[in-house]
Copies of this chain bind each other. A is one copy, B any other.
Amino acid sequence: MANRRATMHDVARLSGVSTATVSRVINQNGRFSPETEQRVRQVIRQLDFVPNQAAKDLRTRRSRLVGILVSRLSYEYVNSLVTKLEELLFEQGFIGIVCNISENYENEQTYLDAMFSMNICALIVFSSGRPIARPEGRSIPVIYINRMPEDLNDKLCCAIATDSVSAGYKACAALIEAGCRRVAIVRTLYGPDRRPRDREIGFMKALLESGCAYDEGLSVAVPVAGDYASAFASVNERLDQGQAADGYFCESDVYALSTIRSLEVHGLRVPEDVKVVGCNDMSIALYNNRAITTIRHQTEAICLKAIENMKRMLSGDELEQRHTVFDVELVRRQTL
């Protein structure tokens, strides 16, 4: 169909130079006269010539494919991070190829294998979940986002994270500063390890520093992670028992929405009677008559750092630091 696409040979022939020169012009590798460049560019435009990437990749032994392994893409925070990552990669000539394991961790290796067989040149692992074994085999750079690698000494790996302790701290501190004295946290029920997570640790820290007591009876554990109905029921139950805080830090904006509704049902006004701070700056934070005050991550900065580190490792350079942490920001809206 149609006449085949132009190659460098065509360009070379028509502009009366060799393919070597055409290559130099295209890649701006110097060693050609301005007149030659003129002529070559002219012909390139005329033929609508586009270099064949496969040939280029083969010859230079490079790949522009970057694997992005994600625990669960449906979390809005994760989704926006991945979207931004893909966008930035694209702008820099890479191709992000995302692989969503939907928390089927037993399939993780299968997905990794699939990505390796596509010849990825680097891997970005993004997960708020449990740690996994480092992919053995090919020695390509691996960038961990919000997850710690098994071995941070590995020259070809690094970790980038959002400061979850700070998230809990800033939210709680803001509530206290706004006058709350009986502050509670709405969080997902502990996993089997029964260990508090970073956000709760930061929350406690703020409480301690301000001399506020922590009344465990006020806080709420949500059984089904990220579920509106589950969170609503949990908060409701606490409120039915007559246990009410005057400030809530909700581990996600979904929980914040649930909490606000439950408070409304119990005749409590937000923010007049009770103040609420959510987390993750999801779109639903705006789907409420009083827009929800929340915690925002430095999504773009995280992505940029990930790509910067990737490129560094790809070119064999040393990293400034193996582990980078980005702080969060309180977005003041109407529930505080």
Residues facing B in A25-74 (CB within 8 A) are 48, 50-55, 57-58, 63-65, 73-74
- Report which residue of A83, A100, A287 has the largest number of chain B beta carbons within 10 angstroms of its beta carbon: A287
Contact of A254 among B50, B83, B118, B287 (CB under 8 A): B287
A133 within 8 A of B: no
Cα separation A87 to B82 with both chains bound (whole Å): 14
Query: Given the complex, which residues of B lie within 8 Å of A287, measured CB to CB?
Result: 228, 254, 257-258, 284, 287
Nearest chain B residue, comparing its CB with the CB of A48: B137
Nearest chain B residue, comparing its CB with the CB of A1: B139
Query: Given the complex, which residues of B lie within 8 Å of A95, measured CB to CB?
Result: 65, 95, 97, 118
Nearest chain B residue, comparing its CB with the CB of A83: B73
* Chain A 291-319: CB-based contact to B (< 8 A → 1; otherwise 0): 10000000000000000000000001000
Cα separation A90 to B70 with both chains bound (whole Å): 14
A119 within 8 A of B: yes
Query: Given the complex, which residues of B lie within 8 Å of A178, measured CB to CB?
Result: none
Number of residues of chain A lying within 8 A (CB) of chain B? 52
SS class, residues of chain A in contact with chain B: mixed
- CB of A289 to closest CB in B, whole Å: 6
Cα separation A58 to B291 with both chains bound (whole Å): 54
With contacts A55-B58, A57-B54, A100-B83 taken as known, whether A114 is within 8 angstroms of B139 at the C-beta atoms is: no
Query: Given the complex, which residues of B lie within 8 Å of A205, measured CB to CB?
Result: none
* Chain A 133-175: CB-based contact to B (< 8 A → 1; otherwise 0): 0000111000000000000000000000000000000000000
With contacts A54-B58, A63-B54 taken as known, whether A228 is within 8 angstroms of B286 at the C-beta atoms is: yes
Residues facing B in A62-103 (CB within 8 A) are 63-65, 73-74, 79, 83, 86-87, 90, 95-100
A119 & B50 in contact (Cβ 8 Å cutoff): yes
Query: Given the complex, which residues of B lie within 8 Å of A229, measured CB to CB?
Result: 286, 291
B138 & A5 in contact (Cβ 8 Å cutoff): yes
A126 within 8 A of B: no
* Chain A 1-28: CB-based contact to B (< 8 A → 1; otherwise 0): 1100100000000000000000000000
A107 within 8 A of B: no
Contact of A54 among B50, B54, B74, B99 (CB under 8 A): B54
Query: Given the complex, which residues of B lie within 8 Å of A58, measured CB to CB?
Result: 52, 54-55, 58
A261 within 8 A of B: yes
Cα separation A254 to B137 with both chains bound (whole Å): 47
Contact of A53 among B51, B100, B119, B232 (CB under 8 A): B119
* Chain A 212-233: CB-based contact to B (< 8 A → 1; otherwise 0): 0000000000000000110010
A139 & B63 in contact (Cβ 8 Å cutoff): no
Between-chain CB contacts (< 8 Å), 8 pairs: A53-B63, A54-B57, A58-B58, A86-B98, A90-B99, A95-B95, A257-B287, A265-B289
Give chain A's interface residues, CB within 8 Å of chain B: 1-2, 5, 48, 50-55, 57-58, 63-65, 73-74, 79, 83, 86-87, 90, 95-100, 114, 116-119, 137-139, 228-229, 232, 254, 257-258, 261, 265, 283-284, 286-289, 291, 316
